[in-house]
Structure 1
Amino acid sequence: MTRGPRLLLIGPPGAGKGTQAVRLAERYGIPAISTGDIFRFNVKNETELGLAAKAYMDAGDNVPDSLTNALIRDRLGESDAANGFLLDGYPRTTDQVRELDEYLAGNGTALDAVVELQADPEIVVERLRKRAVEQSRADDTDDVVRHRLEVYREQTEPLIGVYGSRDVLVPIDAIGSVDEVTDRIVSALTGRGLGTAA
């Protein structure tokens, strides 16, 4: 079996990471590992972790590293992630980058590419406002969205510098139709010799 790519999808809230993650995972036959999905599953099922995570999520803050790292290590250890994976929403901080680096190095692997979805903040706020109405999501109020964008800028943007210096960063314009953005990503990855699409 040919190995799929090991990808990280990064970008501000509302840039379309969740949508693209599902499409890319399908295209390359790899699991999309989303911290948001993992947290929402735990919140919905009122697990101990879920209740702890909910307080942070409701305030628009990131869940602490200790909770997140444990979940991700656990998920990457599952058999379906052995031949490639796509991370969405992790790592968010340079500390989490170190944690992920250590975990992957311990398994003799590393990330193949970090896809950075780029989007104008005002377009993002408008997208999330629309999503809040469509999905009745209480965590998508304007104030919370702007706070999340601020948290993203402070904590996650430094990752762009880290991965940029490793020459694995692939910047993608995230404005356009879902198909257009997917095509841009696949084309950029193919250009790097990554993942023949399934």
Structure 2
Amino acid sequence: MTTLQEQYSAAWISGQLKVDGGEVGSANSQSLKFILLGGPGVGKGTQSDYLKREFGLLALSTGEIFRAANKMDKSQLSPAMIESFDYMSKGLLVPDDTVVKIVRERAFCLKAPMGFMLDGFPRTIPQAEQLDDILAQVNETLTGVLFYELSVEETVQRISGRRTCPKCKATFHMTNKPPKKVGICDCCGSELILREDDRPEAVKTRLAVYQESTAPLISFYEGKGLLIRVNAEGSPEDVFVRTKAILRSKGILK
């Protein structure tokens, strides 16, 4: 029998909830409900994995929805999903109202008994305001917004140190996870490359775009008293220890 987390995770992708009474994989009596924010290179995905493992939270990523939907037959997609792909196929950003429709179709996931972490939504103030409305409709409230912060210098160092295998897609880092032989993939022996997106100047451009688009969202949640700033420097383990310490200091964790 699948766990409730697995059933809700599948429902987040499909937009249809079919619960057959599975067990909650990890008890979470506090029912924590977070939004995760953080720029490229902060390790937000790793922190999401830690939070999921320790507290049994449901990981809800809008990126996962789009990646899964890209492999599905169009007949399986909702009108909102079809609309979103129409925009993306033209190289256009998906409008706020379309993204909100996709999340509304999955509002039942925000009532999951194990709590949740939202990643990739909201990205704008209109999306954040609509999320407030969706949460009110399902009678839920956010615990907080975890904002993982990292300096520009540290971010550039982290990302520009990545090396990728073009053949098997294995990833390495020149400082944190170097290959056994410089420039060569441990897995298949191919020559490792530095992706264009990972070059220092490209990273700085991505950061500038992220900071400009996210700044209003940071102010929005800070004004609501929900923003929880976490220094993302150091190892993933250190950052997670820091996250828990901050949550305890705020009385969110016992």
Alignment of 1:1-198 (within 5 A): 2-45=29-72, 48=82, 51-52=85-86, 55=89, 63-78=94-109, 81-131=112-162, 133=164, 134=171, 140-142=197-199, 145-195=203-253
For 2:69 and 2:194, locate their aligned partners in 1 and report how far apart those are by CA, in whole Å: 17
The number of aligned residues is: 193
Contact 1:28 1:195 (C-alpha < 8 Å) held by counterparts: no
Contact 1:4 1:195 (C-alpha < 8 Å) held by counterparts: no
Give the number of the structure with larger relative contact order, counting CA–CA contacts within 8 Å between residues 6 or more apart: 1
Q: CA deviation at 1:37?
A: 2.1
For 1:129 and 1:77, locate their aligned partners in 2 and report how far apart those are by CA, in whole Å: 39
For 2:102 and 2:149, locate their aligned partners in 1 and report how far apart those are by CA, in whole Å: 27
For 1:63 and 1:17, locate their aligned partners in 2 and report how far apart those are by CA, in whole Å: 23
SS at match of 1:189: helix
1:31-77: CA deviation from partner (whole Å, max 9, x where unpaired): 01112222222234475467447558xx7x86432332223233341
CA RMSD, Structure 1 to Structure 2 (Å) = 3.1
Single out whichever of 161-170 and 130-139 deviates more from structure 2: 130-139
Which ranges of structure 1 fall in alignment gaps of 5 or more residues? none
Mark the structure with the bigger radius of gyration. Answer: 2
Which ranges of structure 2 fall in alignment gaps of 5 or more residues? 1-26, 75-81, 165-170, 173-192
For 2:83 and 2:162, locate their aligned partners in 1 and report how far apart those are by CA, in whole Å: 26
Q: CA deviation at 1:126?
A: 3.5
Contact 1:7 1:85 (C-alpha < 8 Å) held by counterparts: yes
Q: CA deviation at 1:185?
A: 0.7
The structure in which a higher percent of residues are helix is 1
TM-score (ref. length: structure 1):
0.80
For 2:89 and 2:205, locate their aligned partners in 1 and report how far apart those are by CA, in whole Å: 15
Contact 1:43 1:54 (C-alpha < 8 Å) held by counterparts: no
Contact 2:110 2:140 (C-alpha < 8 Å) held by counterparts: no
Contact 2:58 2:117 (C-alpha < 8 Å) held by counterparts: yes
For 1:16 and 1:148, locate their aligned partners in 2 and report how far apart those are by CA, in whole Å: 15
Single out whichever of 33-42 and 96-105 deviates more from structure 2: 33-42
Contact 1:90 1:96 (C-alpha < 8 Å) held by counterparts: yes
The 1:62–1:122 alpha-carbon spacing in structure 2 relative to 1, beyond 3 Å, is farther
For 1:124 and 1:53, locate their aligned partners in 2 and report how far apart those are by CA, in whole Å: 31
Single out whichever of 65-74 and 155-164 deviates more from structure 2: 65-74
For 1:10 and 1:88, locate their aligned partners in 2 and report how far apart those are by CA, in whole Å: 7
The 1:140–1:33 alpha-carbon spacing in structure 2 relative to 1, beyond 3 Å, is farther
SS at match of 1:116: strand
1:115-163: CA deviation from partner (whole Å, max 9, x where unpaired): 1100112322333344562288978344654443233222211111111
SS at match of 2:35: strand
